[in-house]
Structure 1
Amino acid sequence: MRVSLFAVMVLISLSVQSQSNLFDAKNINIQWEVIENSHQNKSQFQSAFTFTNTGKTDLPKQGWTLYFNFVRTVDPASTTGGVTIERVNGDLFRLFPKADFQGIKAGNSLRVEFVSSDWVVNFTDGPAGIYIIWNEAPSKGIPVTNYTIKPSTEPKQYLRFPGDKIGLITPAITYDQNKAILPVAPDKLTKVFPTPVTYRENPGAFVLTKDVAIVTDPAFANEAELLATDLSGIFKTNPAISTAGNKGAKYIQLQKNSDAPEAYQLTITNENITIAASSGAGIFYGIQSLKTLLPPQSFAKTQTAIEVPNVHVTDAPRFPHRAFFLDVSRNFQRKQQILKLLDLMALYKLNVLHFHLNDDEGWRLEIPSLPELTQVGSKRGHTGDNNANLPPSYGSGPDINNAYGTGYYSQADYIDILKYAMARHIRVIPEIETPGHARAAVKSMDARYERLMKEGKKEAAEKYLLHDPEDQSVYRSVQGWNDNVMNVAMSSTYMFLEKVVDEVIDQYKRAGVPLTTIHFGGDEVPAGVWEKSPACQKLINEDASVNNVDDLWYYFFGKVNTMLQSKGLGLYGWEEISMRKTKLDGNNHYIPNPDFVKDHLQVDVWNNVLGWGAEDLAYQLANAGYKVVLSCVSNLYFDMAYQKSFDEPGYYWGAFVDIDKPYYFIPYDYFKNAKEDKFGNALNKSIFTGKARLTDYGKSNILGIQGLLWSETVQGPERMEYMMLPKMFGLAERAWAKDPAWATEKNETQSEKLYQQAWSEFVTVVGSRELPRLDFYSGGFNYRIPSPGAVVKDGKVDVNIQLSGFVVRYTTDGKEPTVKSAIYSGPIVKKGTIKLKAFNQKGRGGKTITITNP
């Protein structure tokens, strides 16, 4: 009997379907490991997946695809195991069987080796968000839950290249770093943080109770209410607030004076507390100083009386722009977490939230007239429909309802954030990333275009289109996207941007919050973009000011600047918006663009990577007349891993950044105290030879400094707080306090001596006062608890720790230390394997270290 081809295909389809229905994705275990960095002596590494079938049915030979996110570029030709790995787009890859793949039988394993670009140091470099798709259900992604990353323990796995001198951080290395910290007596500490201009502690104390009233100048009603809220959280009773009349036996007075706008004076005696300032901001900062004078445990439980030391403080900030940058596009944070961040910023006198609201991987702000921006651009997941949402990125997985890949702020949310920030004297600067890093916007407007074209509304469909449908340009962004740049030659791009700007302005007006600038991004537009766009070629042919593709950059930001000026706003962006490409000895060369200087553009300068050659870029731009916010990756990128350790999350392409990096950053001369290159090696300071120094005129153009948290590796509020803290203390100190003596001392030996003393005092304040405060303040923070350092000396295990205020506990039986384990109080004489861990006052522990006492 003859069987038709159609019948055969039906049988095959049913066979595949029955196999996939029988095979449960829970029965596939996946482990990934690094085989070696510097594979074949090139800037590449080899790694491997091991797939183990723990079920009772075979993984089929065909009919499935695995997807995963991976921040490296895979060489498809290097893949073994009968499968293919290829990039989909961005950081999304897929792994699928070749024609001769034999499946994985029940109980068997398969090893798949492949080569990728660059190298691996920690677990966040590894593949993430793995899920499987069955061919008969191409829109349904099933997460693979049994996935582990094997730690790298051998030098070939963690040394990045032959000249890499830095291994993984060991307890002995940590011990050596910590031993320079000097003991500091509590009575020698400045108890106001950040360090004020002057601080004098006097005998006696003011006793703060629920009966203490607040007496305020009418101009400071907002600040009085916030202080009352803080005190009611401590005493569970709202203090009385008055503007005149009987002050009572003891009181806190908020008094008007003629100081500079953000300056204040704080005087505490046995009888009263007086905060004097000319503005609400000054009063507010005086209140924050009062809060840091309170014992850290004041926020732990309801109090009846708190002694506050008698002090006299005069204070004012060093810089007007004291910023924290948060990326919520790569991984989203809910409104409540943003309000909590604002509480933290306010406590330590940071006054700008730079809010990165869109990127390739997400659009996070509701724009009602362009609903696709949030209907499509705020969602990530596997649906099989490119117009429905964005693909998974950074391990967000296939579920469109995932917690951190999907999300946005409604108008009401954003207005709440603006009002909350303004009450705490924090400006929120929105960033609308353009023209690159814009895939979420581009694809959202593509979806709008498709919807309206189906409705027969061609003119409306094209009104806000962001890409030229005829563009054949080939490019790949740093993050792997090949379709993430707005087309700057199309009028619809500018109509889109103006529509977004108008609606952002409206939200600020509805919140009653002033808006002076919008950040328009401008970084990392890849080579090759616009080169084969008919729209761009038409503009080049018709506009005499645009001679080539490079000139499109200046054309774009010129138009954006003019549009913003028409609305009374200034243009703010990344350093690239202030640069002009030219030639030097026939090679591409970048200089500060003289065309934009007159418009007082404000720029964030991130690239001071030590060893890349642009170490002085911030100073070049400030000297040229640009308003500069120091946002330097070497010291101020909080998404950088704390140290070189496999279990330490974060990137490290620009540096490793612990709390010391922002602390020893000298804004006007960051060459002076630079200590490490981007690999963590001791710095050869000859790289600064011939570099531009900051002139006095240039100093007048340094607006301030900014700590930054990009969120590629930041899933959830706990990781966010871990990466921010305690690094933020160094940022707050440098943004507010004047240059310390060690920063201006010309004698290197004396400068180092002064630095060690100041560093010791700083880490003592952070460890013994501020982190314990944050255990309870604003609901408590998941800051990073430092690991102890340990060495064997004279047959005993000696232990130290970077930050005081933690209890170090240990075990000698191989078990993990707990809050009930022995407390370290002196060298351990016990032989064998010793495990140690630091705990905070709430019993939360840091990472365990292990040392052997032979």
Structure 2
Amino acid sequence: MKKIIFIAALFCFQILNTKAQQSFKPADLSVMWQLLGNDHLGKAQFLASFTLFNKGKTEIDLKDFKLYFSYPRVINSVISSNAKFENLSGEFCRIVFDGNAKSLKSGEKVIVEYIANGKSKNYTDAPSGLYIVFNKQPDQGYPIVNFERDYLLDKEVAQLKLAPAKVYEENKQIADLPMENLVPILPSPNEYKAKTGNFILYKNTTLNFASEFESEANLFNEELSKLLGVKLTSSKAENSIILKKIEGLVDEAYELSVKENRIVISSSSKNGAFYAIQSLKMMMPPNSWAKKQVEIQIPCAEVKDAPRFGYRSFMLDVARNFQTKEQILKVLDLLALYKINTLHFHLNDDEGWRLEIPGLPELTTVGATRAHTLNDQNYLHPSYGSGALPNTFPGSGFYSKADFIEILKYAKARHIKVIPELETPGHARAAIKAMDARYEKYKNTDLISAKQYLLRDTLDQSVYKSVQGFKDNVMNIAMPSTYTFIEKVVDEVREMYILADAPLQTIHIGGDEVPEGVWQKSPAIATFMQKENIKNYNDLWYEHLSKVNEILKKKNLYLSGWEEVAMRKTSLDGTTKYLANPDFTTQNFHAYVWNNVWGWGQEDLAYRLANAGYKVVLSAVTNFYFDLAYEQDADEPGLYWGSFVDVDKPFYFIPLDYYKSAKEDVQGKPVDQKIFEHKERLTDYGASNIVGIQCQIWSEKISGAEQLEYMLLPKLLGFAERAWAKNPNWAIEKDSKIANVNYLKDWTWFVNVLGKREFTRLNHYASGFNYRIPTVGVNIEEGKVHANVQFPGLIIKYTQNGSEPTLKSKTYTSPITQGGSIKFKAFNSVGRGGRTISIH
């Protein structure tokens, strides 16, 4: 009894002591971030500020706490006195007030101005995840619940807002096509011949299939049961769907015949049968998934189809910010529908490790959790706005072994291969800190176990900084324990694939962005270099690749990685150059090449590596990085360092001659074609090494499922078309005028299909997706306001009294007389709207 009383008393004391230590309530502190101006003092820098405001009744002593936040920008100087900015690691930052900082009485504020590199163009650039830590409670963070971000100057807003007239001009050439004239299958099939009549799918329709296609037929039947309320049975009734095995078609190819009394799917492979079913689903009315149907009419047609690329992939980063298992399953449904056959799963990075590995629990207890910490012993420090509190989505989270096996089974049933990415040796901070925690746990009781999986040399004094600002994120490749760790993870991952009966042919090892200076003051590296007679620090990289390659080859796996795995660093006239590394051209390395940014000098890198013999996956940042903003606008989320990427960018990409499809540079301006004059072109041999194409979403600024879907859709549909459909005639046409006419014809079909069919389907398919609805294009001509939208089928609503447009507002059908404030917004068929455009 005394013990219970003592514990209760101690608890009350701690509460009272905490209150005594806090001089004010954190909720009383309000913070606003403001952009004050780009091109500050005529330089490539911007001026911005934090305003701290006391909205409570208790005085706030600025010396009592530190303000922490995530911020990706490099701050050069703090103009305000009595405040200091500190970058702690990556984008983990804080502001500290010195002893001369004044206290804020109720209603008072203090402004901290600073100068940072580059430009700030949209709200994605703003600081995030703000919290304070009281000096007397250094281990406890308190979120700032009152945080706003704004652009202070009207002229700055005008410069950073999208010009609606530009959007209008881009949309003006798009014709509104009758729905019955649209080929209803996306990606577009090689051959589609419309016939008269319809097949009526209803509860008495029968489903018959060759034994080889049983799993595909059963999966289709499960979906039909949700649409019709019953599963189809097998019999020889007239109204039937038949899956037939034939010989002679390439893998994934199919033939689909829809007649009034019978649908016949013919394929030589299970893959082909599956994709024929996806095409058949496309031919159903797009609102078929909205509710249970009595009958579904499918237009009669003859279809012959096969993919252009055998590798059609989407990479999803869940390391920076996490996505739930349920969301991954939903994404797999989406990929399958549009015939994308690979999920490249980015499972670990500096900011998170997302997969349970039996025997290494620290990878998830430490590496999958972000919260306030200055030592990373129990979890990782905040990143990307994850804030102070542990176990908070999306900063924290991981997939258990059972979760991952479920994902693999789900993917396999939908003919999707999952390629796991396990970053080495760079981008490995989460793994390094997790294995440090393991070392600390065992070092005093079992030093052998403590060192078994250690990923860093504890005596290393090397100084480096990664592209993302980390100083401790690279594995030490001289230590045997590094390879013990890699092999342990590979073995456990392989075991999960075996248990899921899922295919595993490769592991993507990352291999990118190892910074200068790494390893140069490591005793373990020095000893290793002496033993192996290695003279150059750059050559350590190739030793690492060789060792990891041997680990994978022993397990019948080939090595995949970002472009650096295929490159050799050298110098010419004192300048660093990267060449195709001849060491590994015969090792079946698959290089995923992202760096083609127009004007950066590496536009031909993918072609150089393919011509040299490497298997190349085109992953071009200019067209396939879907985390980049759709357009240049202060209100449009997303990054923009490599390009702006709307749905047209992946659609008009020409994989085997992408110089020809280079239209806009990083700033959204026309590309100077002179940059390609001396670039290497793709040879016929090189073209044989282009194994496929991949789109990517990096998740630094993805805060949940809705934002993931917003950035992914409809961009993914443009990618799907380019990955599957045959090479379009406008891609090979040498006459630019003819090519442009042909392109506009295809583009018009595509946007009409999206606006009139696919958006309706995506409103309900797999419980519905939060695809982006574009902004309305607006132009003023002779006192009349003209409006249009990128996707015919969307509805334009407007108001003329300054109020926000709703479904009840006027529908735009013809030009409006200019006058006062006019607001426009596009809506889809279920009443969800895009961003509002205002005209004054």
Q: TM-score, normalised by structure 2?
A: 0.96
Deviation at 1:548, TM superposition (A): 1.6
Matched, 1:469 2:469: no
Q: In structure 2, what is the equivalent of residue 148 of structure 1?
A: 148
Q: In structure 2, what is the equivalent of residue 787 of structure 1?
A: 775
Distance 1:367 1:186 in 2: 51
The answer to whether the 8 A contact 1:600-1:625 is kept is no
Matched, 1:512 2:493: no
Q: In structure 2, what is the equivalent of residue 695 of structure 1?
A: 683
Distance 1:224 1:271 in 2: 19
User: Of 361, 364, 371, which aligns to 2:361?
Assistant: 371
Q: In structure 2, what is the equivalent of residue 89 of structure 1?
A: 89
Q: In structure 2, what is the equivalent of residue 119 of structure 1?
A: 119
Amino acid at match of 1:759: W
Cα deviation 1:543-567 (Å, max 9, x = unaligned): 02x2221011000001100111011
Deviation at 1:17, TM superposition (A): 7.2
The answer to whether the 8 A contact 1:20-1:60 is kept is no
Change (3 A) 1:18 1:292: closer
Secondary structure of residue in 1 paired with 2:33: strand
Amino acid at match of 1:500: V
Distance 1:286 1:579 in 2: 40
The answer to whether the 8 A contact 1:51-1:110 is kept is yes
Q: In structure 1, what is the equivalent of residue 479 of structure 2?
A: 490
The answer to whether the 8 A contact 1:16-1:60 is kept is no
Range with greater deviation from structure 2 (786-795 or 286-295): 786-795
Deviation at 1:449, TM superposition (A): 0.2
Deviation at 1:633, TM superposition (A): 0.1
Deviation at 1:65, TM superposition (A): 0.8
The answer to whether the 8 A contact 1:387-1:447 is kept is yes
User: Of 322, 326, 329, which aligns to 2:319?
Assistant: 329
Deviation at 1:20, TM superposition (A): 5.4
Change (3 A) 1:765 1:111: same
Q: In structure 1, what is the equivalent of residue 263 of structure 2?
A: 273
Q: In structure 1, what is the equivalent of residue 216 of structure 2?
A: 223
Matched, 1:177 2:166: no
Matched, 1:436 2:426: yes
Q: In structure 2, what is the equivalent of residue 581 of structure 1?
A: 569
Distance 2:19 2:456 in 1: 43
Deviation at 1:645, TM superposition (A): 0.5
Secondary structure of residue in 2 paired with 1:332: coil
Q: Which runs of 5+ in 1 are unaligned?
A: 1-13, 160-166
Q: In structure 2, what is the equivalent of residue 9 of structure 1?
A: none
Distance 1:143 1:583 in 2: 49
Deviation at 1:43, TM superposition (A): 2.5
Deviation at 1:153, TM superposition (A): 5.7
Distance 2:689 2:244 in 1: 33
Matched, 1:654 2:642: yes
The answer to whether the 8 A contact 1:361-1:439 is kept is yes
Matched, 1:208 2:201: yes
Amino acid at match of 2:69: F
Cα deviation 1:57-103 (Å, max 9, x = unaligned): 1111422111000001122x434142111011110101121111112
Deviation at 1:487, TM superposition (A): 0.5
Cα deviation 1:258-311 (Å, max 9, x = unaligned): 111110000000011111101111000000000111111111111111211101
The answer to whether the 8 A contact 1:81-1:110 is kept is no
Cα deviation 1:305-324 (Å, max 9, x = unaligned): 12111010000000010000
Distance 2:719 2:152 in 1: 32
Deviation at 1:119, TM superposition (A): 1.6
Aligned counterparts, 1:277-316, within 5 A: 277-316=267-306
Matched, 1:642 2:642: no
Change (3 A) 1:42 1:830: closer
Secondary structure of residue in 2 paired with 1:282: helix
Amino acid at match of 1:603: A
The answer to whether the 8 A contact 1:121-1:158 is kept is no
Cα deviation 1:800-845 (Å, max 9, x = unaligned): 0001221111111211111221211222236211111111112111
Cα deviation 1:319-344 (Å, max 9, x = unaligned): 01000000000000000000000000
Amino acid at match of 1:148: E
The answer to whether the 8 A contact 1:522-1:574 is kept is yes
Amino acid at match of 1:606: W
User: Of 260, 264, 274, which aligns to 2:254?
Assistant: 264
Deviation at 1:188, TM superposition (A): 2.5
Secondary structure of residue in 2 paired with 1:461: helix
Distance 1:583 1:795 in 2: 61
Range with greater deviation from structure 2 (820-829 or 476-485): 820-829
User: Of 387, 391, 394, which aligns to 2:384?
Assistant: 394
Q: In structure 2, what is the equivalent of residue 80 of structure 1?
A: 80
Amino acid at match of 2:698: W
Q: In structure 1, what is the equivalent of residue 139 of structure 2?
A: 139
Deviation at 1:152, TM superposition (A): 6.3
Q: In structure 1, what is the equivalent of residue 673 of structure 2?
A: 685
Distance 1:428 1:151 in 2: 42
Q: In structure 2, what is the equivalent of residue 670 of structure 1?
A: 658
Secondary structure of residue in 1 paired with 2:759: helix
Distance 2:221 2:16 in 1: 71
Distance 2:386 2:62 in 1: 27
Amino acid at match of 2:526: Q
Q: In structure 2, what is the equivalent of residue 751 of structure 1?
A: 739
Secondary structure of residue in 1 paired with 2:238: coil
Secondary structure of residue in 1 paired with 2:685: helix
Matched, 1:731 2:719: yes
Secondary structure of residue in 2 paired with 1:654: coil
Amino acid at match of 1:836: F
Q: In structure 1, what is the equivalent of residue 8 of structure 2?
A: none
Secondary structure of residue in 2 paired with 1:388: coil
What is the root-mean-square deviation in Å for CA atoms of aligned residues?
1.6
User: Of 535, 552, 559, which aligns to 2:547?
Assistant: 559
Distance 1:227 1:501 in 2: 34
Cα deviation 1:482-530 (Å, max 9, x = unaligned): 1000001111100000000000010100111121100000111111111
Q: In structure 2, what is the equivalent of residue 52 of structure 1?
A: 53
User: Of 405, 408, 412, which aligns to 1:422?
Assistant: 412
Distance 1:239 1:79 in 2: 72
The answer to whether the 8 A contact 1:34-1:157 is kept is no
The answer to whether the 8 A contact 2:151-2:157 is kept is no
Deviation at 1:45, TM superposition (A): 1.6
Secondary structure of residue in 1 paired with 2:592: strand
Q: In structure 2, what is the equivalent of residue 164 of structure 1?
A: none
Secondary structure of residue in 2 paired with 1:86: strand
Deviation at 1:39, TM superposition (A): 2.2
Secondary structure of residue in 2 paired with 1:130: strand
The answer to whether the 8 A contact 2:37-2:153 is kept is no
Distance 2:151 2:491 in 1: 50
User: Of 179, 184, 193, which aligns to 1:191?
Assistant: 184
Amino acid at match of 1:276: S
Secondary structure of residue in 2 paired with 1:62: helix
Secondary structure of residue in 1 paired with 2:617: strand
Matched, 1:709 2:710: no
Secondary structure of residue in 1 paired with 2:427: coil
The answer to whether the 8 A contact 2:373-2:380 is kept is no
Change (3 A) 1:24 1:121: same
Distance 2:158 2:574 in 1: 39
Amino acid at match of 1:308: I
Amino acid at match of 1:300: A
Distance 1:210 1:277 in 2: 25
Range with greater deviation from structure 2 (423-432 or 14-23): 14-23
Q: In structure 2, what is the equivalent of residue 604 of structure 1?
A: 592
Matched, 1:850 2:838: yes
Deviation at 1:185, TM superposition (A): 2.8
Q: In structure 2, what is the equivalent of residue 822 of structure 1?
A: 810
In the alignment of these two chains, the number of paired residues is: 826
Distance 1:513 1:153 in 2: 56
Q: In structure 2, what is the equivalent of residue 381 of structure 1?
A: 371
Cα deviation 1:710-761 (Å, max 9, x = unaligned): 0000010000000000000110001000111111100011111111111111
Q: In structure 2, what is the equivalent of residue 403 of structure 1?
A: 393
